[in-house]
């Protein structure tokens, strides 16, 4: 046989081997790929058959490139309404902005805004018409991130109406982190509703189980609850969000810095709302010693940010090593640095600060000159107790 033919046969064998190896790599990647609860349609479609459904979701409720709402309608399920959270169903409203109820222009399904000024009785009337309330929304695992609070309120209503709450679980991108003080319930508010740490490390499905199991609903009632688990997810999985969960958490750097940066909302310092690096920088017009600066502007998702149109000097955190950010967890050093730099004492803080941090001792310790590690030591034992308390409700390996 000519040398050319042998070489040709050898190349074909090599290409075949490479193809097999490539297919094996693809299969291995698929085997370990995280799949959300919403993707497990074979598990929950039978539950929904013949049922009247209300959907609590927003722009993050996607299955691939299609929204869950569209998937359900394509399968002829009866959707009688949508409940939309903070930032609205399409996820483009400002933090805390009132969003009016409306109709989804793409499907004609009525949207009942949970930020539209109605009281709970109005939503309870809607839930009485439904057999199932589906929760499918991307949370980020922080006590002051309001989606879990909305779920908690809906669980209370479902406990009254006997409506099944079906959670299509999604990974917690901060699921590896349990850190921060447990909420002193004297500071219960719209940014803190449960006695949990700032970073609780749980998915919405796990948290819903804990709410039921710990008797945290009104009168210790139980909500009819079913959770559709994620596949191939653990609490150590570093899950990259495919869609920004809200306008001011545009990327994973902001999500990982969020546990450390949100407290600036309770101070006179800007954390970058009104810029394209929110939660990734901080500054103030009177901060000294910094050449870095930014100017908050009125932009979508931050129409009237703090220190609007004022040049703020401070610190850019957007290029910090992501692994270092994750390792430090809740890091108060940024806050303490700004406090000491401005040197204005208690005027640095607003009354909102305690609602965000959840306890009264952090402000006092900062004003006394304590560093971040000394303050963190104060909540260390409570965090360990919480880890034990939450363990019966975990759906995924720690």
Tell me the pLDDT tens digit for each residue of 38-55.
999 999 999 999 999 999
Query: Is the pLDDT score of 322 beyond 70?
Result: yes
Position 209 confidence tier, pLDDT thresholds 50, 70, 90:
very high
Segment 238-288, tens digit of pLDDT:
999 999 999 999 999 999 999 999 999 999 999 999 999 999 999 999 999
Query: Is the pLDDT score of 31 beyond 80?
Result: no
Put simply, whether the predicted model's pTM sits higher than 0.85 gets the answer yes
Q: What is the pLDDT of residue 77?
A: 98
Q: Which residue has the higher pLDDT, 89 or 312?
A: 312
Which residues 6+ apart lie within 8 Å of 369 measured at CB? none
Query: Is the pLDDT score of 134 beyond 50?
Result: yes
Q: What is the pLDDT of residue 89?
A: 75
Q: Which residue has the higher pLDDT, 141 or 95?
A: 141
**Phi, psi at residue 313, to the nearest 5°?**
-100, 140
The pair of structure tokens assigned to 225 is 């609850």
Average pLDDT, the chain: 91
Percent of the chain with pLDDT over 90: 81
Per-residue DSSP letter, 378: H
What is the rounded distance in angstroms from the CA atom of residue 287 to the CA atom of residue 339? 10
Q: Which residue has the higher pLDDT, 18 or 118?
A: 118
Segment 378-383 mean pLDDT: 98
Segment 299-317 mean pLDDT: 96
Position 26 confidence tier, pLDDT thresholds 50, 70, 90:
very low
- Spatial CA neighbour of 389 closest among 175, 196, 183: 196
Position 102 confidence tier, pLDDT thresholds 50, 70, 90:
confident
Given CA atoms 332, 334, 335, 336 in this order, what sign does their dihedral have?
positive
Per-residue DSSP letter, 242: S
């Amino acid at each position: 046989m000519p040398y050319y033919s042998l070489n040709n046969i050898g190349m074909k064998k090599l290409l075949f081997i490479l193809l097999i190896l490539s297919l094996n790599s693809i299969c291995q990647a698929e085997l370990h790929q995280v799949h959300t609860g919403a993707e497990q349609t074979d598990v929950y479609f039978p539950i929904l058959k013949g049922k009247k459904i209300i959907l609590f979701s927003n722009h993050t409720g996607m299955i691939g490139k299609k929204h869950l709402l569209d998937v359900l309608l394509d399968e002829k399920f009866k959707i009688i309404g949508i409940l939309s959270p903070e930032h609205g169903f399409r996820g483009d409203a400002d933090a805390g902005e009132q969003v009016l109820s409306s109709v989804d222009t793409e499907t004609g399904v009525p949207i009942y805004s949970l930020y539209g000024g109605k009281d709970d009785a109005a939503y309870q009337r809607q839930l009485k018409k439904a057999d199932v309330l589906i929760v499918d929304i991307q949370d980020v695992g922080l006590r002051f991130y309001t989606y879990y609070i909305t779920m908690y309120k809906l669980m209370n209503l479902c406990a009254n109406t006997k409506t099944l709450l079906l959670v299509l679980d999604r990974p917690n991108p901060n699921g590896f982190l349990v850190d921060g003080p447990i909420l002193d319930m004297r500071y219960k508010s719209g940014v803190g509703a449960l006695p949990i740490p700032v970073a609780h490390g749980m998915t919405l499905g796990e948290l819903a189980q804990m709410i039921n199991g710990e008797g945290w609903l009104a009168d210790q009632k139980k909500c009819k609850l079913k959770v559709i688990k994620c596949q191939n997810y653990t609490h150590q999985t570093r899950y990259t969000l495919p869609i920004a969960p809200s306008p001011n958490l545009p990327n994973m750097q902001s999500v990982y810095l969020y546990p450390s940066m949100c407290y600036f909302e309770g101070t006179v310092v800007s954390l970058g709302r009104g810029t394209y690096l929110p939660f990734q920088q901080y500054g103030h017009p009177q901060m000294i010693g910094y050449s870095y600066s930014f100017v908050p502007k009125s932009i979508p998702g931050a129409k009237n940010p703090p220190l609007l149109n004022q040049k703020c000097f401070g610190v850019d955190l957007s290029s910090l090593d992501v692994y270092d950010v994750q390792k430090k967890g809740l890091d108060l050093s940024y806050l303490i640095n700004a406090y000491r730099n401005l040197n204005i004492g208690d005027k640095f803080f607003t009354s909102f600060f305690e609602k965000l941090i959840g306890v009264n001792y952090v402000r006092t310790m900062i004003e006394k000159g304590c560093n971040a590690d000394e303050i963190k030591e104060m909540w260390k034992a409570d965090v360990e107790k919480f880890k034990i308390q939450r363990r019966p409700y975990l759906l995924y390996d720690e």
